[in-house]
Structure 1
Amino acid sequence: MTWAAMTRIDTGGTDGAERAPGMLPHDPAGRDDELARLARTLLTRWKLIGTVVVLVTGLAVLGLRQLPPTYIATAEILIDPSQAQYADLADAGAPRQTTVWPTELETYMKVLWSDELAADVVNTVGLAAFTKEDPPWAPLKAWVLELARPLLPHLQDLAVSLGLPAQPPLLALDADPDASAARPGETALDKAVTVFREQLVVGRESLAAVIEIGYRAADPELAAKVANATAEAFPRELIRAEKAALSASANYLGERVTALAQELQAADAEAQALRRRLSDFGSGSLNERRYAELLKTLSEAQAQLVNARNDASLAADRSHGLNERFTTPQMKELRLQETDLARRLAELGSDLQAKHPAVATVRAEQAEIRARIRAEEEGIRQQIASEEQLRLAKVAWIEGELQAIEKELALSATDQLQLKQLTTRTDSTRLLYQDILTRYQRAREQQLMVRAPARMINAARVPAQPEGKKRLILLGGALLGSLAAAAGLVLLLELRRRGYSSAEELQRTTRLPVIGCLPAVDRRVWGGRIEGGRGFAQKVYGEAVRRAALRLMAGRRSPQGTAELILVTSAKSAEGKTLVSLSLGRQLAGNGLKVLVIDTDLRRQSLTGHLQHLVLPKADLVALLTEPVAKPEEALVRDERFGIDFLLAQETSSDPARLFGSPAMAGLLAELRTRYDVILCDSPPILAVTDTVPLVPLADRVLFVTRWQDTARNLVEVALDEIRLHGGRSCELILNAVNLRKYARHASSDQLAHFRLSASYLR
């Protein structure tokens, strides 16, 4: 099987036709998928990733072993709002709260971080238990500082060499950071409170109103003691806060009661004075007596109206139900029936399932009783509303009668009006005074009956085993973090890499065959025999050139008896195409072929510069193209050591592209094809100048040279697109200047990656 058949590449076309090896694909956009490339990079660099993960995880294990064992004890508190509502005298008949919302539970949990509770626990347990205990990370910190101690002088020297300021001085590794970080005026109690908060662990059950209070310490007995002390201090703190709120409310209500009492006393004195002035007037005519009676009646009606409005306001509040004083005998009977049904339902619920017929019957009766209670409450509300309307109509009627009598009265109208207004205002103030006085007395009573809405249901026990969950979390975090960091570093390096790392990657990305993978060699061997050098890399280079030459000739496309014209180019300069041209020419000549190497780089003349050991002829390539009388024999020079001919360029041209695109160039190449077997054209980079463009359609094959891990991918893609655009018929690739020591890490299916297997043959 020939090399051409072995290197056949599928273009991925929809028509199913196969493309000849080396032919440029019609779809230049069919590049290697970026995500697939990154995934392959992760798979190929698994050793580096594994090494980083093992090192970081090992350091994490060593660090965790330096941590002393810590114990955590947990106590549980149940939040029960009904425990604190029995002393609420404002709405004795209102339904009690039995559900704790998550927001309320979070509010209760905030109390555990208050200064008052922390100070209470510190004083209960003892200040020394918090101030003398070292934090659990102190041994780990000391171990890290001990390891870093030898590096401190080097860090200081590095800072000086970088020009960093010498002040402030570096902190000594054995210094106490707590002493330098202490705040001015910080007391022992403040420090103890800080330690308590750092070690406190607060959580809650997701489906229950239960708060878990845990404390972490090196001493298991201390952990249990502090957790229980915190659970006991929590209800006390709630009671203290509730009493403080009730005390503030009582003080405010007391101030209001005193102010209203003084206002009523002044109003009564003013009313007595007005009544004394109107006493004679009140014993006169019938209208005057009628006016006095109506005033009295109006005061009573207004007072009754105020009471009716208060009753209507209380009855209209449906969130708390009707007040106890509005309850009728029928309502009391219905409530007793509801209580009896609730008791029966509780008894049945303890013995029977929820879907039992008896339970369903009791629940139906309970629903019926509740509906009747709501209907009875609605009737009472309507009756109270009707009573308010009647009181309002009565007040309106009396006021109308007074207005009619006032028109008839001519004497003491001003005093009578003032007395009326004063009486009305006084009655309203008196009602407000009674209401606030009642609330004040209730607030004072509630201060003596406050109970906390929380109680401890499970006390903390002394833990027998140290806490291990945190260590596992830290170890897992170190494992995952190191894995992510190593993978991210590998991906970052891969994204920053410009060129190709292996022949397999270059061939897969460009969809073109790679006929040669050449190692990097010393430039000084260009003038001599490369394969005869002393260095091992040079010997490997010679074998790689022989392999590339055999593959090159296996894919020969020119007819028999005609030289195959091979154009050697690259994307940019310094790719090593001149060395590749020279090496392949010498190797092909050594295989018995008649080889001609043409220097078509008229701008730099790289090939000519490396053949200074030969006697150069007077004519050159430029002379053959510009002087009709010049003959090829006058410009050819032969290297007898290798049996290879050269057509050099000793003169420059202002427009090389015009010369190469002229009929003279085509005629010259046609004539040279009849004399040689292989013609290699060392051309300039195709992206740098346009000199190579006219030579692309004249060549049978294009040999594209790219530098290992140096030539950018986009440059290679653009250069290959340029070759295809200008009529390139066939193209093969050469991966040049490969680092032998690093190449095996990136390639596994290429012969050069296993160069050490031939070490015994080449040394």
Structure 2
Amino acid sequence: MNHTVSKFPARTPDAGQTETLQVNDDSDIIDLGQMLRALWRGKWLILLAVMLGVVSGWYYGNRIADPLYTASTTVVLDPQAESASVSGLSNVVQGLSSDTVTVNTEVEVIRSRILLGQVVDELNLTEVAEFNPRLRTPSLQSRLKSLITGMFSSAEDSPAAEPDPEALRQRAIGLLQRKLSIQILPSTRVFRIAITTEEPERSTRIVDTLAEAYIGSQLAEKFQAAEDATAWLTNRVSDLQGDLETAEARVKAFNASTDLISQEVLIGQERQLKEMRDRSEATAQRLASAQARLVRLQAATTPAEKRDAAEDPTLTQLFDEIGSAQGRAAFDARYATLVGGVQQDIARLERQLTPLRNSMQTLETQVQQQSQDLIELQQLTREAEATRLLYEYFLSRLKETSVQQGIQQADSRVLSEAVRPGGPSSPNKQMLQVIGGILGFLLVAGVLLVRELTGETFRTAAQLEAFGGRTVMGQIPLLPQRQRGNVIKYLYDHPTSAASEAIRNLRTSLVLANGGEPPQVVALTSCVPGEGKTTVSIALGQNFRGLGKKVLLLEGDIRRRVLSQHLGVDHQDGMMSVVLGDKRFDDVVIQDETTGVDILVSERSDLNAADFFASSQFATFLDGLREHYDVIIIDTPPVLVVPDVRVIAGLADALLFLVRWDYTKQPQVQEALRLFQSAGQPITGFILNQISERGMKTYGYGGRYGAYTAYGKKYYNEG
């Protein structure tokens, strides 16, 4: 066959250039304006949710919630020192300090289970239904639970045991603890005690009783501490009195058993001992000197040696006369006299030294004994004195404690007693309404924002064009007919409807984009099944037929044969038989009387579809059809499911990609475009199909697209 093939310009890249797939994926960018627009689009839904929340809050506060009454009293932590100022005595039992730690500690004391237990016992709260759930009227839930439990329990089961009184008491304490609130006023030692119950009188009684119990516990603690201190001091004074008597008796006994002298006499004896020691040392030195002289005198043998040893002037004069017999006799006599004198001095000094040393030894013994006795006496005296001081101190403290027992005061006092509540403090009806409105707003706004952020579908043509980088050539609304067989009849019976005008717009876009003439072979595809490509193929063929064109609708989805199902035909012979030469084209083609379009469906076959469309027989067959038809529309299978469409796209003049409104996912479109790009077959344009008018209004797009506004309805006739 010799013919001219009119290739569609939009699908042919420039010579020498490789077209780059550009997909704008801004899914990770949060557009604040987009979020605000999403909230504005759902403003009526948000307003409705806010109103429902306010009404719910009002209903809960006025019809469901039980009124609660809060009574409060204020207590100041005021450490007392009046006991010292009144009695002039220091406190044995110290009061509390006023630092932050002490104030917080006292708050925990008020919240203690011991103190609250006293309130429960005094007011007999275990007999009040609010603090004893067993006394309440069983709720519907409780009755149903009991009924179900009874259905599965045997008749021999023992009846429920009586509740333990202590368990009821502990439970009442726990409930009271939850109803108690304590607030420390800033920069003060004042704290506010509040109780919330179901009755105003009960709240007032409980909070007053709790304040009294708290102050009473402080007084009781102080009295008990004073009593404990008095008992301990009494025992201690008694013990110290016995110790003092024993110490004094030991001093007296020691004095009686020893001959003690005074400290002054002992000092005099020590002085006398020192003098005797000095005299003894001097006498000993003189004796040693005399003995040494005697040794020198006795050692001399010659007259000269005797003269030098004697050192006597008379002997020296006699030495000069030693040459005569008389002079020698005088010298010897004088020398003998000197030796005898020295010997006499030695004897005398020895007689003096012995008694002196004996007296000194005796005196030393006496002084040593007296010193030891005096030291022991002083130690006993000090022990007795120390015991006396302790005894007097503890005796004084005992007297002070006895005085303070009658003047103890609590470290806290009540500033203002509780006043009976004039009205319920809970529920706060206005606050409940505000909270309900806020929750309604947050709930709906959150849903809208989450839907906006997580939405990966396409809702406008501009969004699809920005993502895919191709023009949206048609926007087709959702047809009111659900059955496929009724779609063609609807378009035929309503030629001025919005759907018919949308098909005409698609046809016009194709014609204008091709220089005023429609592309001869048009393939339609989508990402996945169910996006409406078969319906659009039939409608587009019908519309081209309205221009007087000879149109052939070719079933390219030979695996599922959706077009055959659409027309309700199941031929044994079809397109494959014609291509393979088993049948003539005229014997197989179907001429639809309603649309005037020729339709060539496919039959069931075991051949591989991709191999079939890639065969030279199919290309030759399609070239032959170009000579007989002005427009050939091929309904192809989804590109993400099978590769058939990428083979067919190489034989077509235009490739239209259908995207179902608010259904097809962005990653699916991105992957489909990538597949076409890898095969060197870029798409001609998009078709945004099955647009919901109600959905557009819900998303707030209706006012921005004329076909879906109230103005657009003036141009269409859906009747």
* 1:532-681 map, 5 Å: 532=489, 543-556=497-510, 557-559=513-515, 563-608=519-564, 610-611=566-567, 613=569, 620=576, 624=579, 637-641=589-593, 642-650=595-603, 656-657=609-610, 660=613, 672-673=625-626, 675-681=628-634
The one-character-per-residue Cα deviations of 1:249-281 (angstroms, maximum 9, x if unpaired) are 56566666666777777788888888888x479
- 1:686 maps to 2:639: yes
Aligned to 1:239: 219
Structure 1 counterpart of 2:487, one-letter code: I
Matches within 5 A, 1:446-485: 446-464=404-422, 466-467=424-425, 470-485=428-443
Partner of 1:62: 59
Change (3 A) 1:49 1:619: closer
Q: Distance in 1 between matches of 2:675 and 2:249?
A: 113
Q: Matches of residues 400-411 of structure 1 in structure 2 within 5 Å?
A: none
Output the amino acid matched with 1:450. Q
**Cα shift at 1:210:** 1.9
1: CA distance, partners of 2:532 / 2:540 = 12
Q: Structure 2 vs 1, CA of residues 188 and 618 (structure 1 numbering), >3 Å: closer, same or farther?
A: closer
For 1:184, the equivalent position in structure 2 comes to: 164
Does the CA contact (< 8 Å) of 1:80 and 1:453 recur in 2? yes
**Cα gap change, 1:634/1:117 in structure 2, threshold over 3 Å: closer, same or farther?**
same
**What corresponds to 2:273 in structure 1?**
none
Give how far 1:530 is off. Answer: 2.4
d(CA) in 1 for partners of 2:152 and 2:428? 33
Q: Distance in 1 between matches of 2:651 and 2:235?
A: 111
Could you tell me whether the CA contact under 8 Å between 2:87 and 2:403 is conserved in 1? no
**2:475 counterpart of 1:516:** yes
1:109 paired residue number: 107
Change (3 A) 1:744 1:591: farther
1:113 maps to a residue whose letter is: R
Preserved contact between residue 693 and residue 702 of structure 2 (Cα < 8 Å): no
C-alpha distance in structure 2 between counterparts of 1:270 and 1:541, whole Å: 137
Counterpart contact for 1:539–1:762, Cα < 8 Å: no
Contact 2:230 2:398 in 1 (8 A): yes
* Alpha-carbon shift at residue 232 of structure 1 (Å): 4.5
Cα distance in structure 1, aligned partners of 2:151 and 2:88: 68
Greater mean alpha carbon deviation, residues 693-702 or residues 490-499: 490-499
Q: Which residue of 1 aligns with 2:282?
A: none
C-alpha distance 574-286 of structure 1, shift in aligned 2 (>3 A): same
The answer to whether the 8 A contact 2:266-2:370 is kept is: no
AA matched with 1:678: V
Structure 1, 680-689 or 512-521: larger mean CA deviation: 512-521
Q: What TM-score results when the alignment is normalised by the length of structure 1?
A: 0.59
Aligned residue identity for 2:702: S
Amino acid at match of 2:105: T
Q: 1:466 to 1:273 in 2, by over 3 A?
A: same
Q: Residues of 2 paired with 1:652 and 1:674: CA distance?
A: 27
Structure number with bigger Rg: 2
1:44-443 correspondence to structure 2 within 5 Å: 44-66=41-63, 71-81=69-79, 83=81, 86=84, 100-115=98-113, 117-118=115-116, 127=124, 166-167=148-149, 184-186=164-166, 197=177, 200-216=180-196, 227-248=207-228, 279=258
Look up the SS of the partner of 2:428 in the other structure: helix
Distance (Å, rounded) in 1 between the aligned partners of 2:518 and 2:121? 106
Measured after TM superposition, the shift of residue 540 of structure 1 is: 7.9
Cα distance in 1 between the residues matched to 2:466 and 2:494:
25
2:670 corresponds to 1:717: yes
Check conservation: 2:481, 2:487, Cα contact below 8 A.
Answer: no
Contact 2:53 2:438 in 1 (8 A): no
1:267–1:224 CA distance, 2 compared to 1 (3 A): same
CA distance change for structure 1 residues 186 and 581 in 2, over 3 Å: closer, same or farther?
same
CA distance in 2, matches of 1:538, 1:755: 24
Distance 1:241 1:706 in 2: 84
Which secondary structure state, in structure 2, belongs to the residue aligned with residue 685 of structure 1? coil
Quickly say closer, same or farther: Cα 1:552–1:758, change in 2 above 3 A: same
Check conservation: 2:527, 2:640, Cα contact below 8 A: yes
CA offset digits 1:176-207 (Å, max 9, x no partner): xxxx9995215997787667655544323223
Match of 2:343 in 1: none
Identity of aligned residues (%): 22
Q: Is the 8 A contact 2:218 2:410 kept in 1?
A: yes
Counterpart-to-counterpart distance in 2, 1:251 and 1:33: 80
In the superposition, relative to structure 1, how do residues 523 and 487 fare at CA in structure 2: closer, same or farther (>3 Å)? closer
Aligned partner of residue 643 in structure 1, secondary structure: coil
CA gap 1:258/1:119 in 2 versus in 1, 3 angstroms: same
1:26 aligns with 2:8: no
Q: Contact 1:499–1:712 (CA<8 Å) still a contact in 2?
A: yes
Conserved 8 A contact 2:219-2:409? yes
Q: What is the rounded CA distance, in whole Å, between the counterparts of 1:110 and 1:541 in structure 2?
A: 84
* AA of the residue aligned to 1:549: I
- The answer (yes or no) to whether the contact 1:705–1:735 under 8 Å persists in 2 is yes
* Contact 2:532 2:689 (C-alpha < 8 Å) held by counterparts: no
- The size of the alignment, in residue pairs, is 589
| Inter-partner Cα distance in structure 2 for 1:441 and 1:79 | 29
Change (3 A) 1:198 1:581: same
Q: Quick one: structure 1 residues 194 and 616, their matched pair in 2 at CA, closer, same or farther if it must change by over 3 Å?
A: closer
8 Å contact from structure 1 (residues 516, 545) kept in 2: no
The alpha-carbon distance between structure 1 residues 602 and 120, as it changes in their structure 2 partners (threshold 3 A), is closer
Contact 1:598/1:682 (CA < 8 Å) preserved in 2?
A: yes
Q: Which residue of 2 aligns with 1:351?
A: none
Any conservation in 1 of the 2:550–2:629 contact (CA below 8 Å)? yes
Specify the SS of the correspondent of 1:702: strand
Computed over aligned residues only, the root mean square deviation of the Cα atoms, in angstroms, reads 5.8
CA contact (8 A) 2:527 2:639 kept: yes
Shift in alpha-carbon separation, 1:494–1:508, aligned structure 2, 3 A: same
CA distance in 2 between partners of 1:666 and 1:433 (Å): 129
Equivalent residue for 1:732, pick from 663, 682, 686: 686
Distance 1:605 1:223, change over 3 A: closer
Instruction: After superposition, give the CA deviation of every residue in 1:332-356 in whole Å (9 maximum; x if it has no partner).
Output: xxxxxxxxxxxxxxxxxxxxxxxxx
SS at match of 1:555: helix
Distance 1:522 1:728 in 2: 33
CA–CA distance in structure 1, aligned partners of residues 483 and 546 of structure 2: 21
What SS is found at the alignment partner of 2:408?
A: coil
Q: Is the 8 A contact 1:127 1:192 kept in 2?
A: no
Cα distance in 2, alignment partners of residues 473 and 246 from structure 1: 52
Q: How far, CA to CA, are the matches of 1:721 and 1:84 in structure 2?
A: 93
2:644 is matched by which residue type in structure 1? D
Answer yes or no: is the 8 Å Cα contact 2:541–2:551 preserved in 1.
Answer: yes
How far is the alpha carbon of 1:732 from its aligned partner? 1.0
Distance 1:68-1:681 versus aligned 2 partners, 3 A rule: closer
Superposition deviation, residue 245 in structure 1: 4.4
Partner Cα distance (1:201, 1:612) in 2: 78
Q: Indicate if the aligned counterparts of 1:32 and 1:508 stay in contact, CA closer than 8 A.
A: no
Alignment-mate amino acid for residue 238 of structure 1: Q
